[in-house]
A = this chain, B = another copy of it.
Amino acid sequence: MLIKRDSGESVSGSRQTGVESHMSHVLALDVGGTFMKGAVIGSDHVPVVRLRFPTPRAHGPEATTAAIASALVDLHQAARERGLTVKAAGVAVPGIVDETRRRVLFSANIGWRDTDLAADLTHRLAAGATDTGKLPVILGHDVASAGIAEARIGAAQGYDNALIVPIGTGIAAALISEGRPIRAGGYAGQLGHIVIEPNGEPCGCGNRGCLATIAAASAIARRYAARTGKPESEVNGAHEVLQRLHTGDTTAHHVWHEAIEALATALAQATNLLAPEVIVIGGGLAQAGEPLLAPLRESLAERLTFQRLPKVVPAQLGDEAGCLGIGLSALEHIS
């Protein structure tokens, strides 16, 4: 089908049909701890093919690298079956990723340590039987890629300065300043490890009282369990705490309120430093919607005086953001 763009040019694009053969396409793969989300994405930013693969991280980092190469070959094959011309492959991974030097410096999740992942994938693809080996491989960070997607085609579109904050088992931030991601060699955006309570709960990072120990979705459930004396396995995540909040459960109220206050404190600090015009809340916790966002807006506003008050909005692209974002990076690379 034909999509008429604002610029007036006509480009073809479709989520289902295969008539976009004169467009450039890229492969996009977002590597998570359990699944890898793959897509073939056209220069109109529309995913044409979506494939999902298991991440064999229990078998070690080598196995995961091999699985990524294999997933790219499968995606390429799916694109060829539709007559699409693929020009690059983008791979988003968790950890500390230096896109410029094309290295994964550290990934606790997968087990990579200072790995030249892009070169390794290029090598593996070149050794295969298909012409996938000729594709340039673009490496990205999962959260940064999600941030790029929200900034270019999602909730932060039209803003030059934005903070994209996925809240799930951890809390991270993608920083966009004057339209460009701030990466600092892969070390930027550790919003979840800003210390809120210097003598608070221990965090996996070795510190105490980090934002993530108070306001990550998993922390909200854990803190509720601890205060009510329930086994953690009996609390159905932050979702249950939110439900109990609505039934007048005062412990749920306190835990939820503390999470919001901690988030507001960290976001106020980020606002002082980076002055985002918009803060996009994503990840599992964002599904709470206004019961999260409304008090967060209020609490953030209370903490700011002369500063430019950022809008606080929910993410638009859900868990597809990372895959779309690395696709956009790959498209930028070939254009």
Contacts from A to B (Cβ < 8 Å): 160-161, 173, 175, 177-178, 180, 182-185, 187-191, 193-195, 205-207, 265, 268-270, 272-276, 303-308
For A273, the chain B residues whose CB sits under 8 A away are 173, 175, 188-191, 194, 269-270, 273-274
User: Are B206 and A305 in touch, CB under 8 angstroms?
Assistant: yes
User: Are B195 and A303 in touch, CB under 8 angstroms?
Assistant: yes
User: Are A275 and B185 in touch, CB under 8 angstroms?
Assistant: yes
Our pick among B184, B304, B307, B308 for the contact of A274 (Cβ within 8 Å) is B184
| A270 CB to nearest B CB, Å | 6
For A308, the chain B residues whose CB sits under 8 A away are 185, 187
Instruction: Give the number of times this chain occurs in the complex, counting copies.
Output: 2
Nearest B residue to A173 via CB reads B273
For A185, the chain B residues whose CB sits under 8 A away are 160-161, 275, 308
| A63 CB to nearest B CB, Å | 25
User: Are A178 and B184 in touch, CB under 8 angstroms?
Assistant: yes
Nearest 9 CB-CB pairings of A with B: A187-B275, A206-B305, A184-B275, A190-B272, A161-B184, A188-B275, A177-B182, A187-B308, A205-B305
- Output the residue of A268, A269, A272 with the most chain B CB within 10 A: A272
User: Are B187 and A307 in touch, CB under 8 angstroms?
Assistant: yes
Question: Provided the pairs A178-B182, A185-B161 are in contact, do residues A307 and B269 lie with their beta carbons within 8 angstroms?
Answer: no
- Output the residue of A161, A175, A191, A275 with the most chain B CB within 10 A: A275
User: Are A272 and B193 in touch, CB under 8 angstroms?
Assistant: yes
Q: Once bound together, how far apart are the Cα atoms of A52 and B191, in whole Å? A: 43
For A270, the chain B residues whose CB sits under 8 A away are 273
